[in-house]
Amino acid sequence: MPLAVYVLGLSVFALGTSEFMIAGLLQPIARDMSVTIPQAGLLVSAFAIGMVVGAPVLAGATLRLPRRTTLVSLLAVFGAGQVAGALAPTYEVLFASRVVSALACAGFWAVGAAVAVSLAPAGAKAKAMAVMIGGLSVANVLGVPAGALLGQHAGWRAAFWAVALLAAVAVAGVLALVPSTRPATGADRPVLRRELRIYRDGQVWLALVITALNAAATFCLFSYLSPLLTDTAGLGEGWVPTVLALYGVGALIGAALGGRVGDAHLFGAMYAGLAATTAVLALLALTAHLPVAAVGLALGLGVTSFFTAPAINARMFEVAGAAPTLAGATTTSAFNIGNTLGPWIGGLVITAGWGYTGVSWVSALLAAAAVGATVAASRWHRRTAASRVVAGSPADTAVGGPAPVTEAAG
């Protein structure tokens, strides 16, 4: 795997730390801003909303711009958003800073994913995406727990300043190690209208649904993991960074395994990961009052949810291969649609008085729905592959992906 792919993964570490660290800062932010825990949880949704909107818009707007320049510019805007969050005098300003940071983060994800896939060796798309997603995993192992520790000992604003510093380091890394490339010219130049044609394919929309459901299932629970640990499992707030770190360790393991399995058995990885996520969330709902079970299942949730992610991302690039930039943008938007809905649904469950175990049950239902959507996607894929074999159309086969992927998926 080229070094530049790992640099992009390390840049994602800064982005992921900002996106997920709110889960470990809910209580101090709620106290400081005089808002409820569900309102503080909406800061996760605020970031996700910015990602949903920003990914396709910025992917289209930067389609013909130099890739490295685009990545550096987006990281700079992201860093400025972190500074604004650190200085925010009110909840509304903090909310707005999260949206601005997310817009830049979304653009980086969309462009960075397309660059990573383009640099990856043949047959290693899932592994390239696993490296990118690994940046999120490391963020959960190191960044999110560190943010929680900073929030407890130096105030939650210190966590935002730390991420701003990480963004500056990421800018230096991209400038130094990501190759300077320009989009193709002539007949091969990227054309937005042509790339938009991928949205005529129902398989693209089904891949979007699977991605969104997986993210919603994970972050419906993860966004409220901190109060679940303290209020339901009875752990002290000092345990929160440790458990978040364990979740991150699980995510790192899951992404590494999922990248390897996903390239060889695309749908198999999706089935296994989503079914395991459903089981973990249901078990957590049943045993959340037991501290040992809550801690162990938090680790398990990290493994299962991130095991699925590389295959889900690779599936989107498979069905939307004719438009790699928009494929990355669509995946980012889908992920964050789920990341928006998940905390919102979890907040509704809490407000309704069902408690944090109720959040876990709803999360399990969302994961089960993702399994059902994967069944539909697999059947559609097989029908499409069979029709291409019968028709004997090389052109169609090229658009849908190479034959080995079909065999692996089967």
What are the residues whose beta carbons fall under 8 Å from the beta carbon of 253, sequence distance 6 or more?
A: 302, 303, 306
Confidence of residue 247 (pLDDT cuts 50, 70, 90): confident
Burial of 275 (0-12, 13-18, 19+ CB in 10 A): middle
Burial group, residue 200, by CB count within 10 angstroms (0-12, 13-18, 19+): exposed
* C-alpha–C-alpha distance, residues 48 and 290, integer Å: 31
pLDDT (average), residues 329-335 = 79
Residue tagged 């972050």 (tokens): 219
pLDDT digits (tens, 9 = 90+) for 64-108: 778 788 888 999 999 999 999 899 899 989 998 998 898 888 888
Could you tell me the residue ranges of all domains in the chain? 1-179, 196-387
Residues 6+ apart with CB under 8 A from 292: none
- Asked if the domains 1-179 and 196-387 are classified in one and the same CATH topology, the answer is yes
Distance CA 2, CA 22 (A): 32
Whether pTM > 0.75 for this model: the answer is no
Mean pLDDT score, 358-367: 94
Share of residues in the chain with pLDDT > 90 (%): 16
pLDDT digits (tens, 9 = 90+) for 294-328: 999 989 998 998 888 888 877 877 777 666 667 76
Looking at 2.40.30.30, 3.30.420.40, 3.40.50.1390, 1.20.1250.20, the CATH number of the domain 1-179 comes to 1.20.1250.20
**If pLDDT is split at 50, 70 and 90, which confidence band does 184 have?**
low
CATH architecture designation of domain 196-387? Up-down Bundle (1.20)
Q: Which long-range contacts (CB under 8 A, 24 or more apart) does 278-285 make?
A: 278/217, 278/364, 278/367, 278/368, 278/371, 280/304, 281/217, 281/221, 281/360, 281/361, 281/363, 281/364, 281/367, 282/360, 282/361, 282/364, 284/221, 284/357, 284/360, 285/357, 285/358, 285/360, 285/361, 285/364
Q: What is the pLDDT of residue 397?
A: 38
- pLDDT-based confidence at residue 361 (cuts at 50, 70, 90): very high
**353: DSSP letter:** T
Higher pLDDT, 232 or 406: 232
- With 0-12 / 13-18 / 19 or more C-beta atoms within 10 angstroms meaning exposed / middle / buried, residue 396 is middle
Q: If we measure between CA atoms, which residue out of 118, 135, 214 comes closest to residue 173?
A: 135
296 Cβ contact list (under 8 Å, min separation 6): none
